[in-house]
Structure 1
Amino acid sequence: MSSQYPAPISPTRTRIGWIGIGVMGGAMASRLISAGYSVTVYARSPSKAASILSLGAKLADSPADLAAACDVVFTMIGHPSDVKSLVLETLLPSLNPNTVIVDHTSSHPALAKQIYRSALDKRCYSVDAPVSGGDVGAALGKLAIFAGGDAEVVEWLRPLLDVLGKASYMGDAGKGQSCKIANQIVVGGNLVGLSEGLLFAEKSGLDKDEFVEAVKGGAAGSMVMELFGKRMITRDFRAGGFAEYMVKDLGMGLDDEVVVPGAALSKQLFSGMVANGDGKMGTQGVVTVIERINGMGMGA
């Protein structure tokens, strides 16, 4: 039994499809399974789906098969080019009418608008819903979700989005992506500032843990400090979000008509990580670039 829009979402009826089961996507899909939903996943390398299959997910043979068998299809992949290929060329032609596609990928607002129009042509619906909160937020269901598209469709999706975090409706198609780009401009600046503050504290003879504890309750405190301060100090550079994706997101911000010099500097520093071979490192690894500028090695 299916539950396509606008029939109410129900764990017993609504069939969920999920493509993109990396660090973030895997944690998000797992939360929907834990909430009682039937989830079908697709993975180019089926071996990478072993953990989520053990939770009860089903494995589709192809993205087209997944699209044809689901009421809501979530995507959480890499780059706008990946989204364009997967969603426009593979998923949309296979969707049944009244299916809703939710793209959690950080992508380009113009592409989100194109997907929205193409979905309507198929009598389907599209929501661009990039997220912020990293791997911790994904695992705990505390992501900030920025949703663009039809307000009624976003409201319909609430039972699912509430499992993943807090969804804010930002406006029509593309507005979710624009919000994520603005979010990344703020996050990138915070990560660079935190890196420089930690390095300055260390060079001044301060204990870095004591420094973070002292300042986190004041104006310097931030969610970035909560999520990444300890990780920077302990050299934990495992990725919640890849550094190369931060370069992508900031680059989309620089493509716009707004002059954002701080974002341009942040992009240069994160691009330094990629040039150093650390593109798959977590964004908190930008501290290593600041260290290199100061003549310090990775083990500092």
Structure 2
Amino acid sequence: MGAAMASRLLSAGFSLSFYARNPSKPSSLSLQSQGAVLASSPRDLARSCDVIFTMLGHPPDVRQIVLDSDGLLSGLNPNSVIVDTTSSHPALAREIFSAARKMDCWAVDAPVSGGDIGARDGKLAILAGGDGEVVKWLTPLFDILGKVTYMGLAGCGQSCKIGNQIVVGANLLGLSEGLVFAEKAGLDVGQLFEAVRSGAAGSVVMELFGERMIGRDFRPGGFAEYHVKDLGMGVDVVEQGDDEKVVVLPGAALCKQLFSGMVANGDGKLGTQGLITVIQRLNGK
């Protein structure tokens, strides 16, 4: 997703530098062929840019890239902005915001939803937390990537993304069970899909993943193992202060268990639509 987002910014005429932990990946080579400049470290990247987007896997990755001694904060110029589009923890977003402000810089937590297709087509839902005026200033960049919604103070973007992932997980589970039930009932699953997609069962999740599930196309737009992480940030809440609330989420807990089953089956690097394989395994397929 990060490479697709970077490509859109390049296509819009912005000069772009990037840092990649694995610069030999095809996505990194593609960005260079489009005119992007490869930086040698997060610090060097920060020194050359006014706005830095991050798209990483897990909160520890964000902490390392942003807060380590050679991280982005070590090279930021005054009034620069870090925009973290990773699905990360609200408490870490608040920590990064506070650290950036001490350096006369800004940080926005802006996780995205829409998968690989949304990133490619510039139709991501961008869920932003931080200073409202800074988010407004960034809107011309966000408009290239999708639609931004300002959710509130630092950390609110990440909290919104956790809520988003709870809804997405429930939709993926319902779609998986509906397709497996239809097959067991002797129906043509493709015909079922066409019959219900325009009714109350229809959803963006169905449009993004239904045909992929039926065709057993499990190429990742987002890794299943990341969904375990995202749901865990909602389900496994540990009290960290007065502003952290423990919430009971039985459906999200079940979804997390099932996605964890994918990981246990060795399928953590498949796309989230691969959840149907867990339901199929439970039914002897």
Per the shorter chain, which TM-score range?
A: over 0.9
Distance in 1 (CA, whole Å) between partners of 2:173 and 2:184 is 17
Partner SS for 1:122? coil
Q: Which amino acid aligns with 1:28?
A: M
Aligned to 1:87: 66
User: In the alignment, which residue of structure 2 is the partner of 1:212?
Assistant: 193
Q: 1:174, 1:132 → 2: CA distance? A: 16
Matched, 1:60 2:43: no
Separation in 2, partners of 1:113, 1:62 = 24
Task: Find the counterpart in structure 1 of residue 9 from structure 2.
Answer: 32
User: CA offset at residue 85 of structure 1?
Assistant: 1.2
Cα distance in 2 between the residues matched to 1:291 and 1:243: 16
Divergent runs of 4+, >4 A: none
Q: What pairs up with 1:253-268 in 2 under 5 angstroms?
A: 253-256=234-237, 257-268=246-257
Give 2:224's aligned residue: 243
Structure 1 length as normaliser, TM-score? 0.90
Following the alignment from structure 2 to structure 1, what is the Cα–Cα distance between the partners of residues 32 and 65?
A: 22
CA distance in 2, matches of 1:200, 1:99: 52
Q: Verify: 1:118 aligned to 2:118, yes or no.
A: no
Match of 1:275 among 242, 264, 278: 264
Q: How many pairs align?
A: 273
Secondary structure at the counterpart of residue 198 of structure 1: helix
State the AA in 1 paired with 2:5: M
Q: Distance in 2 between matches of 1:191 and 1:218?
A: 17
Matched, 1:226 2:203: no
Superposition CA RMSD, Å: 0.6
1:70 paired residue among 39, 44, 49: 49
Q: In the TM superposition, what are the counterparts of 1:5-24 in structure 2 within 5 Å?
A: 24=1
Which has the larger displacement, 266-275 or 208-217?
Answer: 208-217
Identity between Structure 1 and Structure 2 (%): 70
Identify the residue that residue 10 of structure 1 maps to in structure 2.
none
1:188 to 163, 169, 174: 169
CA distance in structure 2 between the aligned counterparts of 1:137 and 1:44, rounded to whole angstroms: 24
Gaps of 5+ in 1: 1-23
TM-score by length of 2: 0.95
Distance 2:249 2:23 in 1: 42
Q: Partner of 1:199: helix, strand, or coil?
A: helix
- Aligned partner of 2:152 in structure 1 is 171
Secondary structure at the counterpart of residue 151 of structure 2? strand
Deviations 1:188-239 (A, max 9, x none): 0000100000000111111111111110111100000000000000010000
